[in-house]
Structure 1
Amino acid sequence: MNQHTVTIEVAGRRLKIACPQGQESALLLAAKELDKRLGACQSQGKVFKTAEQTMLMVSLNLANDLLTQQQSFEQEKQQLQSKIDLLQQTIGQAVQNQEKSA
Structure 2
Amino acid sequence: MSPQTIEIKIADKRLKVACPQGQESALISAASELNARLEKTRSSPAVATLEQALLLTALNLSNDLLQLQQQKEQEQQQTQEQIQLLQATIEQALIEQKNSPEK
When normalised by structure 1's length, the TM-score is 0.89
Which blocks of at least 5 consecutive residues in structure 1 are unaligned?
none
The yes-or-no answer on 1:76 pairing with 2:75 is yes
Q: Report percent identity of matched pairs.
A: 53
When normalised by structure 2's length, the TM-score is 0.88
- Specify the SS of the correspondent of 1:93: helix
8 Å contact from structure 2 (residues 4, 18) kept in 1: yes
Give aligned pairs, total: 101
Change (3 A) 1:79 1:27: same
Q: 5 Å matches for 1:1-102? A: 1-48=1-48, 50-101=49-100, 102=102
Query: What's the Cα RMSD here?
Result: 1.4
The offset of 1:52, in angstroms, is 2.3
Structure with the larger RCO, 1 or 2 (CA within 8 Å, 6+ apart):
1
Which blocks of at least 5 consecutive residues in structure 2 are unaligned?
none
**Stretches of 4+ moved more than 6 A in 1?**
none
8 Å contact from structure 2 (residues 42, 50) kept in 1: no
